[in-house]
Amino acid sequence: MTRASLLFGGLLVLAVIPLFVQDSYTRHLFILAFIYAVIASNWDLSLGYAGLFNFGHLVFFATGVYTVAIAAKTLGISPWLAIPMSGVTAAIAGLIVSAPVARLKGIYVVLVTFAFGQLVLQLILSQSHLTGGAEGMVRIPYLQIGDYKFISDFKLGYYYVALGLLIVSTLYLLWVTNSTFGKSLLAVRDNEDYARARGIWITRQRVLVLTLSAIFPGVAGGFFAAYLRVASPEVLSFGTLSLALSMVLIGGAGTIIGPIIAAFLLIFATEAMAGIRGMEDARFLIVAIGMILVLRFAPGGLAQLVRAPRKKP
């Protein structure tokens, strides 16, 4: 079965799930999985395809969250317009953070992007008149079409908007990775000297990949704010960061589809563990152990495990 048929089949299943699942909590988990899948798969574009290990994508997500919060609640802009704006502001944030890291390598990229995240966090906390500070912003306007309110249908409307966002993001990533630009990223990742000798401008490719991979995490952050109607500094917490990064590494860096599958597995697994007494605080430790085991025995992630049987005679 080809990757395209698997993708189409998976999307078809997700499209009909609300017809059989009426529980709003289960739909809520699917919506969270859609959001995290967008973050993880776009993070994979810079990490898995360009080999640029960074912590910037949670910042792009937070940028989208606060863009919608400020635009919709403070400025009175419709959330439908504010959500696309969040992709623009996230791309600008990606361009800003890419400037100092474009010529850096290894741990220095990690340190700079982590420091950028802390800078954004301090900016959120210090500008409380705009962001609400440590208390955040609440009662952000919800999505609405005419008299139809998305908060009144057991999350059905939000489910399909989130699914549509994931579909558009995935098609965008597949288009980028299969383009000439995407193939040049693989060359940069695998052998910079060879890529440079072939005329690939390394610095430009890194700037572009961080900027392009920031757009949809920003849009996902904007949708997240309109969905939960809350913007909080918690979106930059270490728990959120580690969960999203685990999805990339467990799913399989450089695969796009792998992190999406891992997003569903980890969201439902962590929520299931949260319902078990004594497991609330240990669930992220278990995820970390699972990530270590996957990286030890299947460095290519879940995608490698799926492909492995095909190699056997």
The pLDDT-based confidence of 28 (bands split at 50, 70, 90) is: very high
Rounded mean pLDDT of 70-79?
A: 94
Strands (E), the chain: 137-138, 144-145, 148-149, 230-231
Rounded mean pLDDT of 127-149?
A: 90
| CA–CA separation, 225 and 152 (whole Å) | 17
The pLDDT-based confidence of 9 (bands split at 50, 70, 90) is: confident
Kindly tell me if the per-residue pLDDT of 265 is higher than 60: yes
Q: State the average pLDDT for the chain.
A: 88
The pLDDT-based confidence of 278 (bands split at 50, 70, 90) is: low
**Which pLDDT score, from 0 to 100, does residue 193 have?**
83
Kindly tell me if the per-residue pLDDT of 279 is higher than 70: no
- Highest-confidence range of 48-52, 78-82, 249-253, by mean pLDDT? 78-82
**Which pLDDT score, from 0 to 100, does residue 311 have?**
45
pLDDT-above-90 percentage for the chain: 55
Regarding predicted confidence, which is higher, 150 or 42?
42
| CA–CA separation, 291 and 157 (whole Å) | 33
pLDDT-above-70 percentage for the chain: 94
Type of residue at 226? A
The pLDDT-based confidence of 306 (bands split at 50, 70, 90) is: low
| CA–CA separation, 37 and 100 (whole Å) | 27
**Which pLDDT score, from 0 to 100, does residue 310 have?**
47
Type of residue at 213? S
| CA–CA separation, 128 and 93 (whole Å) | 20
Kindly tell me if the per-residue pLDDT of 162 is higher than 70: yes
pLDDT tens string 180-215: 999 999 988 888 888 888 888 888 999 999 999 999
Q: What dihedral do alpha carbons 226, 230, 231, 233 form, nearest 10°?
A: -140
Phi, psi dihedrals of residue 162, rounded to the nearest 5°: -65, -40
| CA–CA separation, 179 and 173 (whole Å) | 10
**Which pLDDT score, from 0 to 100, does residue 305 have?**
65
| CA–CA separation, 170 and 261 (whole Å) | 12
Residues 64, 284 contacting (CB under 8 angstroms)? no
Rounded mean pLDDT of 265-281?
A: 79
Task: Please tell me what DSSP assigns to residue 282.
Answer: T
| CA–CA separation, 136 and 170 (whole Å) | 31
Residues 123, 66 contacting (CB under 8 angstroms)? no
Please state whether 111 falls in left (phi above 0), alpha (psi between -120 and 50) or beta: alpha
Look-up: residue for tokens 């403070």? 74
Q: Where are the domains of the chain?
A: 23-234
Rounded mean pLDDT of 101-111?
A: 86
Residues 29, 234 contacting (CB under 8 angstroms)? no
The pLDDT-based confidence of 301 (bands split at 50, 70, 90) is: confident
Rounded mean pLDDT of 142-159?
A: 87
| CA–CA separation, 117 and 130 (whole Å) | 18
Residues 37, 259 contacting (CB under 8 angstroms)? yes
Assigned token pair, 66: 């606060």
Rounded mean pLDDT of 15-25?
A: 89
pLDDT tens string 215-227: 999 999 999 999 9
**Which pLDDT score, from 0 to 100, does residue 313 have?**
42
Please state whether 98 falls in left (phi above 0), alpha (psi between -120 and 50) or beta: alpha
pLDDT tens string 232-246: 999 998 888 888 989
